[in-house]
């Protein structure tokens, strides 16, 4: 199986960032998320370089929902990353990670009055999803004696080749304002005293393995930019979203790179904007393509059995990685302590959750397994821990971070006390 450079096999064991996954599992226990900080930084720099080589003003915003660990966000913030945040919680994280407020975009399709006031207080730009929200934000900014800088979230009505649950810019999607209504929305924004429209924002979907749809989105954005410039809107940034996919099937999926993306999208973008006589900043918001392959989820085989097929029952399930259950997502699995053993036997790798759908990896050829073996689930750095839960009253596992030869916890494992700690006894049960 093709592996990225930070994942290697040495003496029969899988290594990440040069460290033996068997030793990591022994030291920290399983299940365990293990992330290479170096890999995340490398991916970020690659993105930035690919875009900057073709356009002079670029801001890469990390999408905080993909992986909200502060250590990772701090590492990215130190490299100059901003963030797309989708909740007040994510805004707290981005600020605590030291990201600069002017590099943050508060995105969201259903913001509370509290969210809007918080965004105004912190002076971050807001991606506005509706006219109702625009007027609420105007009022919040007026109450604070400030002017809110905004972009509207454009719904470009584009079909994209991805799972329907993660296509976000379809005509029927819940996000944004239909592209044909966008000029009217900006007209309304220009009339608001405490609002200044300074950008446009869109996102067409996630896990897209073809760069063509991004070019279509860029065309829509350039067309809108032209119209808005004509109306007198001074565009300071155009945010064309994230969404570049990764090859979860290592040997067969296409693997578009940041360079492929930039080579396809930027020429259209640059030429279109030159024609309008503007050079706003180009903002992009990658999540998955920055962090997914930085991380493995280590899980131990509790037992094996042969029923209508062979099962390997492991200690991580959809409580820790919901993508297979939720999107039928595919993740490569490797037996960490038998990493170069022959793949002799077909197993379905199942989690410990009391649901039939708790299958991490169906029908995979693996070495003969025994209780105690450790399996690595690859490419789990995006929407892995971030979408975890305590279902079945399972405390979440720890996360460790590797940089160079150093390794440290970046989140301790939860205890049962973390589950019961927020519960309260009603007075009539005292
Ligand atoms: N910007 C916006 C406005 C988004 O909604 C998203 C993802 C991104 C950027 C980042 O997209 P990325 O570069 O990561 O593809 N939980 C799903 C993915 C949901 C994506 C939602 N929006 C999964 O595990 O596949």
Atom nearest to 322 CA in ligand 1: 24
The half-sphere exposure of 419 on its side-chain side, counting CA atoms within 13 A, is: 13
Ligand 1 pocket check for 108: Cβ under 6 Å: no
Q: Which of 162, 206, 330 to mutate to test the pocket of ligand 1 (most atoms within 8 A of CB)?
A: 206
pLDDT in tens, 320-332: 999 999 999 999 9
Q: Is the pLDDT of residue 306 over 90?
A: yes
DSSP per residue, 317-366 = -TTT--HHHHH-----EEEGGGTTS---EEEEEE-SSSSTT-EEEEEEEE
pLDDT (tens digit, 9 = 90+) per residue, 327-355?
A: 999 999 999 999 999 999 999 999 999 99
Residues with catalytic roles: 354
Q: Tokens in use for 351?
A: 């989690």
State pLDDT tens for residues 226-277. Answer: 999 999 999 999 999 989 999 999 999 999 999 999 999 999 999 999 988 9
Position 157 pLDDT exceeds 90? no
CB contact at 8 A, 113 and 126: no
pLDDT value of residue 68: 97
- Span of 119-123, 167-171, 187-191 with lowest mean pLDDT: 167-171
Q: Which atom of ligand 1 is nearest to the CA of 329?
A: 25
Residue nearest to atom 9 of ligand 1 (CA): 242
Average pLDDT over residues 162-175: 86
Q: Are 21 and 9 in contact (CB under 8 A)?
A: no
pLDDT interval class at 171 (50, 70, 90) = confident
Q: CA-CA distance, 133 to 397, in Å (whole number)?
A: 38
pTM of full prediction above 0.75: yes
Please tell me if the CB atom of residue 202 comes closer than 6 angstroms to any atom of ligand 1: no
pLDDT at site 172:
85
Alpha carbon distance, N-terminus to C-terminus of the chain: 58
Query: What pLDDT is attached to residue 169?
Result: 84
For the chain, the average pLDDT equals: 96
The helix/strand/coil state of 29 is coil
Which residue minimizes the CA distance to atom 4 of ligand 1?
203
Q: Is 166 in the pocket of ligand 1 (CB under 6 A)?
A: yes
- Where does the pLDDT of residue 159 fall: very low under 50, low under 70, confident under 90, or very high at 90 and above? confident
Strand pairing class (281-284; 237-239): parallel
Binding site membership of 67 for ligand 1 (Cβ less than 6 Å): no
Residue 125: pLDDT band with limits 50, 70, 90 = very high
Please indicate whether residue 300, judged by its CB atom, sits closer than 6 Å to ligand 1: no
Q: Distance (Å, rounded) from C-alpha 112 to C-alpha 131?
A: 14
Which residue is closest in CA terms to ligand 1's atom 5? 203
């Amino acid at each position: 199986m093709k592996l990225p450079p930070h994942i290697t096999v040495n003496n029969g064991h899988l290594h990440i960032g040069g460290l033996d996954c068997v030793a990591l599992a022994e030291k920290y226990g399983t299940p365990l998320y293990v992330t290479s900080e170096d890999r995340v930084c490398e991916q970020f720099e690659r993105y930035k370089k690919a875009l900057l080589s073709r356009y002079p003003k670029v801001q890469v915003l990390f999408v905080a929902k993909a992986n909200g660990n502060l250590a990772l966000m701090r590492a990215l913030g130190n490299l100059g990353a901003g963030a797309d945040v989708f909740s007040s919680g994510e805004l707290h994280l981005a600020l605590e990670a030291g990201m600069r407020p002017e590099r943050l975009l508060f995105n969201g399709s259903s913001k509370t009055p509290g969210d809007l006031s918080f965004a105004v207080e912190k002076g971050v730009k807001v991606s506005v999803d509706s006219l109702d929200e625009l007027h609420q934000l105007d009022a919040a900014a007026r109450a604070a004696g400030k002017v809110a800088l905004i972009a509207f979230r454009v719904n470009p009505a584009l079909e994209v080749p991805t799972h329907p649950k993660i296509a976000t810019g379809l005509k029927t999607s819940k996000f944004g304002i239909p592209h044909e209504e966008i000029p009217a929305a900006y007209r309304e924004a220009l009339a608001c005293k405490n609002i200044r429209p300074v950008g446009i924002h869109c996102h067409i979907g996630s896990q897209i393995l073809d760069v063509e749809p991004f070019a279509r989105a860029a065309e829509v954005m350039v067309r809108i930019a032209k119209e808005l410039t004509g109306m007198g809107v001074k565009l300071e940034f155009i945010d064309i979203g994230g969404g570049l996919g990764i090859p979860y099937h290592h040997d067969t999926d296409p693997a578009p790179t940041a360079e492929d993306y930039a080579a396809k999208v930027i020429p259209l973008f640059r030429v279109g904007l030159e024609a309008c006589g503007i050079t706003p900043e180009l903002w992009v918001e990658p999540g998955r393509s920055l962090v997914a392959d930085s991380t493995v989820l280590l899980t131990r085989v509790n037992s094996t059995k042969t029923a209508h097929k062979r099962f390997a029952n492991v200690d991580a399930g959809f409580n820790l990685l919901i993508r297979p259950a939720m999107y039928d997502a595919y993740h490569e699995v490797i037996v960490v302590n038998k990493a170069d053993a022959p793949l002799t036997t077909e197993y379905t790798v199942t989690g410990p959750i009391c649901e039939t759908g708790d299958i991490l990896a169906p029908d995979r050829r693996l070495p003969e397994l025994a209780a105690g073996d450790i399996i690595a689930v690859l490419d789990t750095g995006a929407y892995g821990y971030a979408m975890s839960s305590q279902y079945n009253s399972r405390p979440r596992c720890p996360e460790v971070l590797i940089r160079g030869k150093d390794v440290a916890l970046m989140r301790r494992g939860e205890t049962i006390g973390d589950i019961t700690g927020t519960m309260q006894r009603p007075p009539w049960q005292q």
